[in-house]
Structure 1
């Protein structure tokens, strides 16, 4: 018996009507080989910790076992605010769903597997640089505690893929609790396939939100859940300085998980207006625009649900979005600042220092990490990040007075040591800075994947010290600050 036969693999999405997808086989790359394999994630799924040729041939499409059933999903979406009906899995395939050892079900999806009926003018391929970036960032986001898809591994090859120049073709193996996007609902709504729209909603409720079945209107309950999860995801992005870059509705998961990593970027110097996508000429998806775009995308989803839910009820849910996001953001940012409870002046305290950071483009991650070290390091390490030392020193005095008022659930005062220890569990020392990603990409394109493996191991433990990898925690050099990337992948 092969290990494939021992795995819990299902095909519930492929059991939906043919209008939901197209069955298609992947087009293998030339001389495909492993670039990286996520051993711990593989182990949780019952897959081998060390990948071999059997796995390689299965995931690359050379020899697909009967337990896998590749399909390309059909959907639509709003791209930069404009509706596009001609979308779908244009370079990816859903292989099936696998249940892990804890009973959780995940889609297995390969990205870069060749042309499908939804490729439009594309070649259906992914290049090594974008594959590495998604592999690293999805794992980094998971380690930070953010809602995200995961990466099981990726393959490189000898196949040339042509973008601005010839690049190396690659394939990513992505895991997600679902690949259903806002755009799936939009497709059936705008094409008038209302039976399929209802069926899709029924399956989303059955698979992901069974608790809303008791709701007076289960479809409204589903939308409430999607709104809540989306608000939570974007609040995490804002609290941790992550810019997605392409918040099109076809890139929005109904489970509020960070999805389709493209020209993303974590903030270096704090810049609320940071635009990480070179193609975003108007700044639609700038860092500080993300909360509003989340609402815009939810409004587009609400429109697609109007055959199932009365519009006033949907609008009432949308009216709650800002409050949900603010509550989630407040919870996260308080933890990052080490503030227990809520007291008058807290918002102003946080707002003031963020304003100073924005004025001087102070490194976002370094600031919070240094703030969490005040129990055993000089305040000079914080003030040294700013040029206006007097103003920051004054702020630190206010901050310290506020922290002195911290009490836990029992009403006991929280000492600085305890506060800072907890802060170090939520303020990472290491994030995936774009210049670090570029360095490992450069090495990988020359055939050396050891820098990638090293960086990945650090990003999976971002709150630890890793003194041997101190260079990964430094502010970027001038050439690496605020790197802007393209959607081309």
Structure 2
């Protein structure tokens, strides 16, 4: 049996945190993607393709693994759900990488658990492929995120809107601890477990946190910075429930996510976000709302509730300033300036208004500024020409822009094309796109990866896969 050097800290927590059980074996695990660079970083042992398929398809449990499904709760679209949990995922265990970093290894789509809520616990190839591509693209962009180690097709059919090929994606994360993990213990009055969880998170993610208020302060800061990074690349998470808010400030749970093509602040792609709660421009407000729920979950750990409410309110209200600071830095870099002052914010706002009115491509418009903006329709109007003249007078730093503006993003129509090809057993589109996305700041020779979709290629909705 393959030996992996697991060190499973979460499995050493009290049994209330999880249910221990293995993945459900599949009929014909076939390895479709393997992240060799990540495997090397993690120090994984050499394995042949059959071993990789068997382990990361859930058929073999490697020595040292302690597979489990974690418990959590959460607010879903603002509505409280008292029990959620890993309904289609199994945490194999944790490993320490070559630099001493701790990483979870989780199989997503690995079969039913006690938290499946009558679901089948499986994933079909579409959301598995999307998570692989988008999470690795985010990593290449330098945005905190879970990673993708492997993608295995199962040889089994998953029933969704139609029979679809099943798949399991192996997710690597700094942990899988969510705001909802805190919420479930707070709601149940399990204060000892709540305190144990807080200690675990401070030890694992925030070793400089001195106490619970400082933990809250650092989580608020991490979330604010993360969402500012999303906004700077036009990313829409699509399902910012508290059970999808990672306490370490990583992007997690790539369900109905998408990157914008044409810019609009009210853009929504998620098929289940009927009211636009998680629209692009709403993401900062939702981040603050999620932090308020996190603060509420921490209150039982404080000896003086009234004093804590006052303290925590001030900390959560600090989200807005932390976000604005990060946003001004990110968008200032995108137009070649330093952190934007108030005048700079107004100047950028004028550009975003022009882009909204013109339906301009978010990624390509910012790229054109350091290339040839006059070719972009958005700059051909009188207002657009005036904006360019003013901007050029600010002496923008083109080098700063080149590392702030990706040339390529996981455009929805390209991801969808890769999914449809994979359903037909053709994985070349996935492999080619994954390769290009690993170098997001290099302009590929093939403009297939940089051009916006044609009208008949536009993807209007994305789906979570459950």
Q: Same fold (TM over 0.5)?
A: yes
Is 1:471 the equivalent of 2:448?
A: yes
**1:420 corresponds to which of 367, 385, 398:** 398
State the Cα distance separating 1:68 from its structure 2 match: 1.1
CA distance in 2, matches of 1:306, 1:184: 14
Deviation digits for residues 113-160 of structure 1, max 9, x if unmatched? Answer: 100000011000011000000000000011111111100011012200
Alignment of 1:195-206 (within 5 A): 195-206=192-203
For residue 258 of structure 1, what is the aligned residue in structure 2?
251
TM-score (ref. length: structure 1): 0.92
Kindly tell me the number of residue pairs found equivalent between the two proteins.
461
Q: Match of 1:464, SS?
A: coil
Q: Match of 1:338, SS?
A: coil
For residue 231 of structure 1, what is the aligned residue in structure 2?
224
For residue 14 of structure 2, what is the aligned residue in structure 1?
17
State the Cα distance separating 1:486 from its structure 2 match: 2.6
For residue 410 of structure 1, what is the aligned residue in structure 2?
none
Deviation digits for residues 383-406 of structure 1, max 9, x if unmatched? Answer: x33285222111100000012xx6
CA distance in 2, matches of 1:92, 1:342: 42
**2:177 corresponds to which of 177, 180, 203:** 180
Is 1:137 the equivalent of 2:134?
A: yes
**1:8 corresponds to which of 5, 8, 19:** 5
Q: Match of 1:402, SS?
A: coil
Alignment of 1:137-216 (within 5 A): 137-212=134-209, 215=210
For residue 42 of structure 1, what is the aligned residue in structure 2?
39
For residue 281 of structure 1, what is the aligned residue in structure 2?
274
Q: Match of 1:123, SS?
A: coil
8 Å Cα contact 1:428/1:462 also seen in 2: yes
For residue 305 of structure 2, what is the aligned residue in structure 1?
none
Q: Match of 2:27, SS?
A: coil
For residue 121 of structure 2, what is the aligned residue in structure 1?
124
8 Å Cα contact 1:110/1:171 also seen in 2: yes
8 Å Cα contact 1:267/1:482 also seen in 2: no
Residues 68, 344 of structure 1: alpha-carbon distance in 2 compared, 3 angstrom cutoff = closer
Q: CA RMSD in A?
A: 1.5
8 Å Cα contact 1:106/1:178 also seen in 2: yes
For residue 233 of structure 2, what is the aligned residue in structure 1?
240
**1:380 corresponds to which of 344, 360, 374:** 374
8 Å Cα contact 1:43/1:49 also seen in 2: no
State the Cα distance separating 1:35 from its structure 2 match: 1.3
8 Å Cα contact 1:242/1:264 also seen in 2: yes
Deviation digits for residues 239-270 of structure 1, max 9, x if unmatched? Answer: 11110000010011001111000111111100
For residue 430 of structure 1, what is the aligned residue in structure 2?
408
Which runs of 5 or more structure 1 residues have no equivalent in the other structure?
A: 407-418
State the Cα distance separating 1:101 from its structure 2 match: 1.1
For residue 262 of structure 2, what is the aligned residue in structure 1?
269
Q: Match of 2:199, SS?
A: helix
8 Å Cα contact 2:267/2:279 also seen in 1: yes
For residue 109 of structure 1, what is the aligned residue in structure 2?
106
**2:296 corresponds to which of 303, 306, 310:** 303
Residues 24, 220 of structure 1: alpha-carbon distance in 2 compared, 3 angstrom cutoff = same
Residues 56, 307 of structure 1: alpha-carbon distance in 2 compared, 3 angstrom cutoff = same
For residue 481 of structure 1, what is the aligned residue in structure 2?
458
